[in-house]
Every structure is written in structure tokens, then in C-alpha cells.
Structure 1
Amino acid sequence: MQNNAALDPENRALYAEILRAPAGYDLDAALATTYTLDFETALVVPATLAFHAAENRQETLDTPLALLEGLERLSSRIAIFCEAGRIKSVPKGANRLTALLEDTVTEVTAPRDGAFHPKLWFLRFVPIGGHGRPRLRLALLSRNLTTDASWDLSLSLDGVATANARDQNAPLVELVSALPGMASGRPAPAPVASMVASLAKDLARAEWDYPRHVNKISFAVNGLSDRVWRPQVGRTLGIISPFVTDGALSALSRGVDPANACLLGRAEEMALLSPETLARFGKRLVLDEMAETEDGEESDEPLRGPVPTRGLHAKAFITERYKSTEITMGSGNATTPALISGNNVEVFATLTGYTDHLGTMEDQLSPERLGRFLREFVPFEPVNTAKEDAAEARLEKLRRDLAGSGPILRCEEDDEGRILLHLSAQTEIIIPDGIGLRIWPVVVGIEHGIGLTALDAREHLLGRLPLRDVTRWIGVRLVDELTGLEQYFTLGSDLVDLPDARTAEILRALIENQDAFLRYIRLLLGDVSEAAKALFAAGKGGTLSGVFGTGRDAPILEDMVRALTGDGRQLRDIERLVTRLSDPQTGRSEIIPNEFLHLWETFRAVMPKDQRND
């Protein structure tokens, strides 16, 4: 929904488009909020911001140097806040580069005991030459920062920071400013808190470019106080929501003629509603099952155009009031925690325009738009899942308790240079009878885990690992022994006594010799677009040397001189790399040629200072 306000599945916006810097600008800072998170997506985001040559997500994941360089360049400029205990687990072992996300990702808990559920991106871009005003971008999504491929909605707004604060942005500023204070267990790192405060100041003064036919945009946030926002009642009502409750739907539809009310949801959720609630909606719709098979794979049958993939995740509320149509989108479902009690932290944007321009509620769900992928909901008797629901509730409670326990990982180096990881917690958690708990360091996988019946101040030896595999992330599996129901997730811990050389060890695992180092230097010095193309070609089995030379034969000196005449960004990238790979005592490294170090000392003395805004 970047250029218009139609709920049209062919009007698609991908993460890469939302994150791409405007021409002539560079990313200065980015903030994201999400309910769930997976490490692969979190690793791809910095690489997407640094390079735009990858054809797809998997191509980026298959190119470790792209992930590394994206993290090295941008992880300190990105802050991600997610619900504590909602990072997806990696039972087979996570990418060791997840260690470089330790200060990027902050786990939080909702202040009113609900879920932390907003999906928001706020980005600040600065002119590459250092002259001119920063550009701002706000994106509100219905999806999480994961691989989920459901049909979603997004609103992306570009703008600039003006001289004065604007009341329109106050709810968003309140949410962003509150984020560091919601941290669970481990506090938000000081640089993250400082960056968030800086972004909040610009957000307060943001003036947005509106989509076509929209003459007003208002924002709302629930879950921070007793104030609870919900869509205003109009003469018509359209609700798009994957999850629904009787109480919320009854409250939202009060005073609306059922003939003018439409509900689009998931069949398994709507089957749980009372007949009285369903009767409030003259139209009850679900995504057409012919669009996909039950396991989410595309059907072999011919389809009618681009079908929303793998289910419904979009949330929207459409009303007509007077001569205007209001379309509200954001993170909140039509449920009691989101819109009635206001326990969940949710974010919403309401777009208002003349009905003659935006269309009616019927128009938004017409066959020309989303309607061609919908069918009437046919009520059915839901399967009795009482035992499974009770088991899930038990596991969910334990998940929340573990997320709030304040896990601590203490590092101790043994005589062979390996790291002993000792696990404890600030708050005692006793594992209830009938539930099994297994915990492991995420990089090495679940087979290296231990079983526990309690997590408390006593230390448990969690593993003995090479330094390059040590992170603050721990994998968790919960098993309800009565039903066999399992939950897997990742928790962040407070990692203490970590040796300073950990990041250097990770770099050495990817840049293993002097030739690889020199090729990487050429990557840092090269034109970003051409370097990225070569980098991803190498990830497919090609070689960097075809573009950058064989390493030692490449004219590195010429490129370094050329970089010196610019703004110095490429040379600062080299400084960062050399510092990480060098012995802090001697300044030397086995994988950095001595002749390069001598050359580098000359450039370091005259390297331009960083002009990027802090």
C-alpha cells in the first residue's frame, strides 16, 4: 500500500522494497518491532540493506560473506525488539553469525501482561555526501519478522523531519520511546537505547507523503496504558482478521446492520464463534481453499492469477462514515486482548479518504480485488482439542516463566582454550511434573543439550565449545508428556566473562587465509552493486577472483587511493576489519599480509573522519 489504498493482492511490497534506501541516501538507523523472530530473517535484513544484488532470500543465506559484511556494516545501526521467548529455535544448530545479533535483538515483555505484538519498521536515511535533510520511512505490517508467507498488508510512508512536533505521530513516539524500558531480563544495550531516543525525536517531527486518494492518516497504539483504541462505528463494517473472539466482534459490530457487515477470517477460528456472533455479519468469508493445498504447497490446478500464498495473516478494519471511507491496518486482530481489554501492545494506522475515491467496503472486497480469492464460510463442528489446548496453555505459561527468569551464561576458559558455559537464572523456575525441558547452546544444536528439572541460581554446565561457537542464545524444547505436544524456541541470556576475541574468531572462521582476506578487501573497496553481484555469484559456486583478481595480483593500492578521495566509508570498513582480525597486543594477524599492514598504517593516518549522523 505504498502508492494507493486498495486491498489488492497484486499490489505487492516486499521487505527488500521497504528497506531499500532512496537514491543518493544511506541507511543511518533502523528500528523494528515484531512478535516472533527467526534468526535467518534477522541475518538477511542487514545484508539486504547493504547489498541489493541477491535474487532471493536463500541466495543471501547461502553467501556467508554477504551475511558477514551486512552485519559488520549495519548491525550497530539496527535495533529489533521482539516478544521474549518468541525467537524461533534452530534445533539442528544455528549460524554462528547469530552472535553478531546479540546487541541488535532485544527481548521485551508487554507492560499489561499481554503479548508484545506490534509490527513496525522506522528507518532514517542520510545523504551520502553529508549535505541535506535525512529522509524517514515508516512501515506498518501485519506480518512478523519471519519466513511466514501468508497474505499480509503493509503501509509504507516516506517523509522528512520538520522543525516542530506533530500531534499525528504522538502515539508512535510513545511506543518507540517505551521500547527500551520493556526489556526482559537483559537491559537494552546503551547504544540501542541512545539510537531509539534519537529516532523518537525525528519520528515526533515527521511529515509523511500520503498515498493517493488519502487525505488523513491517524495512528493508534494499545497496550501501553488504560486507554484502549478501537475502530469507530460506521454505517458499514468490514473486518479482516485471522484470529477473532466473540466479545471483540460483538463490540465492533454494535449498531451496524448485519447486511452491511462482512467478516473475513480463518475457517478454524470462525468455527469457534457463537451463532449469535456470526449472525452479526451478513457476509462471512474465508480464503478459497482451492488456492492452496492443506500443507501450504501450491495446488496443481490452474489458478486465477497471483494467489495470496499460504493463508491469511492480514488485519484490517473498513468502515464508511459520512462521505468518507476509513481503512485501518496494523498488528491487531479482532480479539479481546487486542481491542477490548487492550492488554496486547498493538499499533494501527487509519487511512481516510472520500468514499468516491477510496471505494466502499464492498469495493475493497470485490472480485476485481481480493474477492476473487474468497468464498463463503460454511459453519462446521470444530474438532474437540480440549486436551491439546490445555497442554498448550501449560507450555505457554512455562515459556513465559522461562523468558522472565533472567538466564545467565557465564564463560570460563579451560586449559585447551575452549569455553565452559555455565547456565543459571536470576529467578527460580521449577519445571512442573509432566513437562520435559531441554536446553542447548544454539550454534551446536539440540543433541548437545541438557535436561533440567529446575532453573535457578545454581550453575549447570551447558557445554564446552570453541570460542567461535559461543553466543548468548540458548535453544529450548518443552514437551508435554501427556499429549506429546512440543514447543521449541530460543531465549537470550546475559552472557558474562566472554573473551574479547570471540568476534575475531568468527571472522577467522569465514576469512581463513591471506588470499581470502585480500579478496574480502577488494569487496570492501569495490563498487557495491558490482561487488554484490560477484559475491552472490561466488555463493552459487563461482569465485570472487574472477571479478576482483586473484588477491595478491589485484591493484588494491589504486582502489585504496580512490577510496581516500571519497568520504572514507570504504576505508573505515577496512579499519573495522583489520582491528577485528589483529592481535590487540602485537597488532599482527596470520591472515593479514605484513605488506598490507605496512600500507594500511599510511592510509590510517590520513583517513577521513566519519561524517555520518550519530
Structure 2
Amino acid sequence: MLSPDKNRLDYGEQLQAPEGYELDAAIATSYSVDLDTLLAVPIALCFGNTLEGDLRGEKLALLEAISRLNKRLKVFYQKGNIAQPIAFNQLFTLLEPCLYPIVPDKAFSSFHPKLWLIRYTALEKNIKPAVKYRFIILSRNLTMDRSWDVAVSLAGELKKKPNQEAANTYWLTWIENLLESSTDFEPRREFLRELPRIHWETPSGFDSTPEIFIGDSEHSPLKFPSYTNDQLLVTSPFLSKAALDDLQSYAPKGERYLFSRAEELNALSDKELSGWKCYAINENMVNADAGELEPDDSAVAGKPYNLHAKLIVSRKASRVCWHIGSANATNAALGCDNQMPLNTEAMLRLSGDNRKVGPDVLMEQWVGVEEDENGLFVRYKPQSEAVDVRHPATNQMREIVFDLINSDWQQEAILRSEDDKYDLHLSVDGFVLHDHHNVEIQVSQLAFGKPLPLIDKMFWSDVAVSEVSAFVPVKVTVQVTGEEDLVEMVMIETDLDIEGGDNRQQEVLKKIVDGEDKILNYISLLLQSQPDKSQWLAFEKMNFSNNNTDGSFFSNSPVYEQLLWAAAEHPYLLKRIQVMVTEFRRAGISLPDDFATLWSHFEKEVPSK
């Protein structure tokens, strides 16, 4: 269930491949993306490890994991919603091909679904089944946020016949449309062919086939089995009166519970909250010291443990229905007054018995039998008047940001013959600044800043290849008389063209693996059947003075022994070395002579698939 002290889900663990399998491909959707978080994801996907540890900086482990995901990972997100990182990392440039920006239809619409669809393949031919799937639906974005979220992870079995139990097939069409839009995503054909034949497991506590609903301008993200429920429990960090009124109609005479943030409840009057038993997330929990709940991490230090979970639970007699996923209890997410939603959302519907998964079970876990002050949620007393704390320029800011992301951003890196550096030319087509009064917009470069006022064409000179990035930070300031300025940071992923070709990955590789000893240690790490994350992350701090690179290499080298073992027991490991050798040649990195001779013999043992 959802007991906050027991039912904790480790994000990294859910991304890991099952034993005996490896990642083949993955797609994800998110409203927003944090680049440092996205850098850490490949560690779980490729190395079968959790996301703990110091994953910051330009590390070989991150480079290797991202390289393995080349054209195998695609993240669809709302254009502009990339968080400004604390520090620039050259490896950010390697994430550019993984990201696919989506522009919503309107200024007040959002691309808001949060899910993962992952395909794993068996490491050995004798392992059955050859393919496994995993589907994860969340309320959390791909960020370092510390808020309380919910998630469901489902294992999928690929069968010969289509899944007839899944009555709703629109989500398959929606996924197919995303895949078709990303033509450089090589595994899309396998996904398109196999998706209808995946049969999803039913999570513990529930007893019906999971159903996935996509909400958009033509479809609702919710499908209640009954319109006259005995109980309704709504959990949402953001609220609107119209959406609550609409939800209330599904339990007009039943008990209704509302869980949210205090500031959102404050924005509604007691009349607007009439008929709801309201609970706010405990302020003591929101402002808890980081050390009390998780190890210190500067990436999340100072961020509150606020509510971000989205869950709607309805009960009719002994039957209970859950909707869990990305949709808030707002007009934009759910639609209301017979209007379809403005947002694109994803929700999972599960059904079960009231004794196991009913609202009363959640109430006991979240507020306790006595509703004391130590629970995750505490009773909220509605105010006589609503308190709207929104900045008066909020709507104007949203319109400006939409115009920015709806424009065409083209960036060229022009190679300078005299010093191998680049001049950056950025053009923006479709945005008209004079349409927005009292607004200041500055555009800078992710690696080195140097902000410039937004105009049709901008220029930066003397840029090293390591500083070239498609990601462009944009600072928008709206000035309102008598109010503090409203400031928002937007990160635009431009269409980047690098004269002479994109060799940024090769430059990072040369920087990290800059000696024979490091090359041999890199090879040794690649030959681990169970990658040791601690060794990978310690690569940059290793003492490389003890490796034997003299004439006794063949007989005494641990790499030689590892190659023998790999050829005999796990030939797929040799494929990793073959890929590494290809990347080294592309980057102009020379292999140690002894290893090159050794590899010429083992290369013949590399499996064809």
C-alpha cells in the first residue's frame, strides 16, 4: 500500500534489469527534466545499481552508461522545462540525443505525463523468455525533487497474441505516435510491434487487469466504474474549485476526503471546500531536516519534502478503484463542465477489495486512528476567505514562455581555422518581443554564461568544443508596478549543427581515459559480469601505477585472465570491448600495443548478436 515508513520505492531499483537480463531500450515521459538526474539514470539502467553515491562530475561510469544508451533511450518532455544545473558538466552534451521536446497546443496546456516503458533482453540464449518489459507510472518528474510522490511498477510478459484484457487501447496509439515522431530512436520498431502483445501483471493487493489512461484534448484520464460512490479520496498537490466540484459529483452523498498542501487549501474558501474532509501535509514533515530522512546531497539540500502525489480512490460497496499517476485535481488536468482536459496526462487504473486497498486503509496509514499531529497529514480547518498568493503576472509569464518554446531555435557552431575553436550563432524565429511589454529576456550559454538580450540573431565567439551545447538558458523577467519582479528560468534545447561533425563524446573520452594504465583498468571494468558501481565511480581516483604493461602482459595480466573467462563463460562481455575499441579508434585513442595484439585473437570470439 502507501504507508510512508514502509512502502518506499527506490527509483534506481525499479529501472534495473531483472537478473539475467540487460537493458535493450527505454522511453520515458516527464513534464520537466533535471540534467544531473538524467545523467544518473543510465547507472541504474545499464549497471543494475541504485542511484546512491556521488554521481556528479565527469566520471567514466557516467560516460560508459550514457554511451551504452546511445539511440536506446528517449525522454519526451515539455520544451523549456530543463532545470538550470548547479554546475556545467561536459557529459550534459551526451544527453542531447536522448531528449525530445514536446510543445503543448496552447499556453495554458502542459505535456504532463510521467512514465517509463522499458524493454530488457536476456544476456544468454538459454534464458527464457528472451524479452521482458517493465512499465512504471509516477507522479514524479525526472528531477532531484524530494517531495512525497507515488509510483506503480508493473512487470510485462510478451505473449504471442494481443492483450485482449486491456479494454483501453488509446494509450497504445498515443505511445505509437510519440515513437513515430522520433525517427532517430532505433528500437521504436520493436516497441511498435510488441506493445499490443504485452500482458501486465496485477500489483499486490489488487485483483483486476491494470488499465492505462491518457488524458488529452479528446480523452479523459479518469474512468470511474460508478457515478454514485460511497467514498471518494482525492490526493493532489494542486487544486481548482471547478475540478473539485466535478469530482464531488462522483460521490454526491458519500464521504469525501481531500489531501493537499496547506497553501492550496488556503486558496479555496470554506464554502468551496464544503463537503470535503480536508487534510494538509504535515508542516513538520515538509520542513524536516534532510539528514533525518536521507543522506546529505547538495543537489537536493534545502528542498522541502512537500506533497506531489496524485491519487484518486473511489469505493462502491466492497469494490475500490484507484487512479494513480500525473493528473492533479485541476481543470487543466481533468477537464470539467463537460470540457476535455487541456493537459496531456497519464493515469493507471487499478481495482481491488475495500478491506485491502480502500480509503479507510489509506486514512489509517496517513493520519492514524486518532488523527494525531505526528502523521504524514493533519486535519485542515478551512478559512472563511480564500487567500490567492499567485503573482499578478503569472498568466502573462505563461504566455511569454509558450511563445518562446513555440519559436524555432537554431544554433550553429562554426569552426575557426586558426585555433580549432568555434563561433556560436543562435537565431530565434517566430518570437516577437514587442508583443510583450514590461518584459526583459536574456539568453546565455550553459557552459560559460555571457548573457545577451534576446534578439533575432545572437553571437558568441572563442568557444571550445567542450563548451558547445544545444541547451540554452533563457531568463525571463516580468516587471509589475508595486510588485516584486516575476522571474522564470527556461532551458531551450536548440537545433544544433556543429561544423565538421559532432566529436564532443570523443573529446570527453580522451580527457577521462588519458593513459595506458587507465585504458587497461577501463577494459577490466568492462569485463565485469556484475558491474561494481563503487569501482566505476572511483576510477578517477584510482592509483594506476601497479598495472603490469611489460613483456609479461600475456601471462600475468588480470585483463588476459578476464578475457579468457569472458570468452568461455560470458561471450557477450567481449561485445563491450569491441564497442570500446571502435570508440577509441573514432576518438583517435591508441590501444596499448600488447593489448592490441591480445585483442586480435579474442576479437574472433565476439558473438554476432
Please indicate, yes or no, whether the TM-score normalized by the shorter chain is above 0.5: yes
* SS of equivalent residue, structure 1 residue 488: strand
**Is the deviation greater in 141-150 or in 426-435?**
426-435
Determine the structure 1 residue equivalent to 2:503.
501
Are 1:375 and 2:368 an aligned pair?
Answer: no
- Aligned partner of 1:108 in structure 2 is 102
Percent identity of the aligned residues? 25
Could you tell me how far 1:97 is from its partner in structure 2?
0.5
One-letter amino acid of the structure 1 residue matched with residue 38 of structure 2? A
Alignment of 1:139-154 (within 5 A): 139-154=136-151
Query: Which amino acid in 2 is paired with 1:351?
Result: L
Residues 519/503 of structure 1: CA separation in 2 closer, same or farther (3 Å cut):
same
Distance 1:170 1:8, change over 3 A: farther
Partners of 1:398 and 1:551 in 2: CA distance: 60
Which of residues 39, 43, 56 is equivalent to 1:43?
A: 39
TM-aligned CA distance change 1:277 to 1:154, over 3 Å:
same
The CA deviation string for residues 350-386 of structure 1, in whole angstroms up to 9 with x for no partner, is 111122333x312211157776321111334565546
Q: Equivalent residue for 2:580? A: 577
Residues 599 and 427 (structure 1 numbering): CA distance in 2 closer, same or farther, change over 3 Å? farther
Aligned: 1:238 with 2:233? yes
The answer to whether 1:516 aligns with 2:512 is: no
TM-score w.r.t. length of structure 1: 0.86
Q: CA deviation at 1:257?
A: 4.7
**Residue in 2 aligned with 1:160?**
157
TM-score (norm 2): 0.86
User: In structure 1, what is the Cα distance between the partners aligned to 2:569 and 2:304?
Assistant: 45
> How far apart are the structure 2 equivalents of 1:142 and 1:394?
27
Any residues of structure 2 matched to 1:184-199 within 5 Å, and which? Answer: 188=182, 190-192=183-185, 194-199=186-191
For residues 292-333 of structure 1, give each alpha carbon's deviation from its aligned partner in whole angstroms, at most 9, with x where no partner exists: 43xx645999xxxxxx97010111111111320112111101
Asked whether 1:435 is paired with 2:432, we answer no
State the AA in 2 paired with 1:268: E
Q: Please report how far the alpha carbon of residue 220 of structure 1 lies from its aligned counterpart in structure 2 after TM superposition.
A: 4.2
Partner residue, 2:591: 592
8 Å Cα contact 1:424/1:460 also seen in 2: yes
Instruction: Indicate conservation of the 8 Å contact 1:32/1:120, yes or no.
Output: yes
* 1:393-542 mapped onto 2 (5 Å cutoff): 393-414=395-416, 415-430=418-433, 432-442=436-446, 444-446=447-449, 448-452=450-454, 454-455=455-456, 459-482=457-480, 483-498=484-499, 499-530=501-532, 532-538=533-539, 541=541
Per the alignment, residue 129 of structure 1 pairs with 124
Distance 1:602 1:267, change over 3 A: same
CA offset at residue 159 of structure 1?
Answer: 2.1
CA contact (8 A) 1:253 1:261 kept: yes
Taking the aligned partners of 2:492 and 2:239, their CA distance within structure 1 comes to 29
- The residue matched to 1:203 in structure 2 has which SS? helix
Please state how far the C-alpha of 1:605 moved relative to its aligned partner.
Answer: 4.6
**Counterpart secondary structure, 2:364:** coil
Task: List per-residue Cα deviations over 1:247-291 (Å, max 9, x = no partner).
Answer: 11001102635661110111111112243320021x100111122
For residue 76 of structure 1, the aligned residue among 56, 71, 80 is 71
Kindly indicate whether the alpha-carbon contact (under 8 Å) linking 2:311 and 2:322 is maintained by their aligned counterparts in 1: yes
- For the 8 Å contact 2:121–2:132, the answer to whether it is kept is yes
After the TM superposition, which residues 555-574 of structure 1 pair with which residues of structure 2 at under 5 Å, given as runs? Answer: 555-566=558-569, 568-574=571-577
Over 3 Å counting, the alpha-carbon distance change for 1:26 and 1:408 in structure 2 is same
Partner Cα separation in structure 1 for residue 79 and residue 283 of structure 2? 34
**Runs of 5+ consecutive residues of structure 1 not aligned to the other structure:** 302-307
Describe the superposition over 1:571-597 as per-residue Cα deviations: whole angstroms up to 9, x where unpaired.
33233333333358xxx53x5334433
Q: Specify the alignment match of 2:24 in structure 1.
A: 28
Structure 1 vs Structure 2 CA RMSD: 2.8
Alpha carbons of structure 1 residues 111 and 402: separation in structure 2 relative to 1, 3 Å? closer
Separation in 2 of the partners of 1:122 and 1:406? 30
Shift of 1:23: 1.2
State the Cα distance separating 1:197 from its structure 2 match.
4.2
Describe the shift of the 1:568–1:241 C-alpha distance in structure 2 as closer, same or farther (beyond 3 A): same
* Residues 432-456 of structure 1: CA deviation (Å, up to 9, x unaligned): 34222222222x232x33222x33x
Which residue identity lines up with residue 470 of structure 1 in the other structure?
V
Deviation at 1:225, TM superposition (A): 4.5
Q: Is the 8 A contact 2:20 2:122 kept in 1?
A: yes
Question: 2:320 corresponds to which residue?
Answer: 325
1:572 counterpart SS class: helix
Give 1:49 deviation, angstroms.
2.0
Give 1:89 deviation, angstroms. Answer: 1.7
Residue of structure 1 in register with 2:364 after alignment: 366
**Following the alignment from structure 1 to structure 2, what is the Cα–Cα distance between the partners of residues 557 and 37?**
42
Asked whether the 8 Å contact 2:3–2:365 carries over to 1, the reply is no
Q: Secondary structure at the match of 2:55?
A: helix
- TM-superposed deviation, 1:606: 4.6
In structure 2, stretches of 5+ residues that fail to align are 294-302
Q: Report the equivalent of 1:265.
A: 260
- Could you tell me which amino acid in structure 2 is paired with residue 244 of structure 1? L
How far apart, CA to CA, are the structure 2 residues paired with 1:608 and 1:508? 28
Letter in 2 for 1:354: D
Distance in 2 separating the partners of 1:166 and 1:330: 22
Distance 1:365 1:48 in 2: 34
Distance 1:173 1:583, change over 3 A: closer
Q: Would the alpha carbon gap of residues 275 and 463 (structure 1) be closer, same or farther in structure 2, given more than 3 Å must change?
A: farther
Q: Secondary structure at the match of 2:355?
A: helix
1:550–1:313 CA distance, 2 compared to 1 (3 A): farther
Tell me by how many angstroms 1:337 deviates.
1.1
Q: 1:559 to 1:230 in 2, by over 3 A?
A: closer
SS of residue matched to 2:71: helix
SS in 1 for 2:306: coil
1:372-404 per-position Cα deviation (integer Å, ceiling 9, x unaligned):
321111334565546x231x3323222222212
Any idea what SS the aligned residue of 1:408 has? strand
What is the match of residue 252 of structure 1?
247
Using the TM superposition, give the Cα deviation of residue 520 of structure 1 relative to its aligned residue in structure 2, in angstroms: 1.2
**Which residue of 221, 227, 230 maps to 2:213?**
221
User: C-alpha distance in 1, partners of 2:270/2:163?
Assistant: 45
Query: Which residue of structure 2 aligns with residue 203 of structure 1?
Result: 195
CA distance in 1, matches of 2:575, 2:324: 41
Which residue of structure 2 aligns with residue 304 of structure 1?
none
How far apart in 1 are the matches of 2:586 and 2:292? 58
What number of residue pairs does the alignment pair up?
571
Contact 1:31 1:80 in 2 (8 A): yes
Q: Secondary structure at the match of 2:91?
A: helix
Cα deviations across residues 175-233 of structure 1 (Å, max 9, x unaligned)?
2112246x6xxxx3x231x4234224323211122122311144343444523243523
CA gap of 1:486–1:238, structure 2 versus 1, over 3 A, is same
Q: Match of 1:313, as an amino acid?
A: H
Superposition deviation, residue 63 in structure 1: 6.9
Does the aligned pair in 1 maintain the 2:213–2:349 contact within 8 Å? no
**How far apart in 1 are the matches of 2:308 and 2:572?**
40
**Cα 1:222/1:605, change in 2 over 3 Å:** closer
Identify if the C-alpha distance between structure 1 residues 481 and 557 changes in structure 2 by more than 3 Å, giving closer, same or farther: same
**Distance verdict in 2 for CA 1:75–1:369, change over 3 Å:** farther
> What is the CA distance between 1:245 and its match in structure 2?
0.5
Shift of 1:172: 2.6
- Partner of 2:69, secondary structure, is helix
Distance 1:270 1:97 in 2: 42
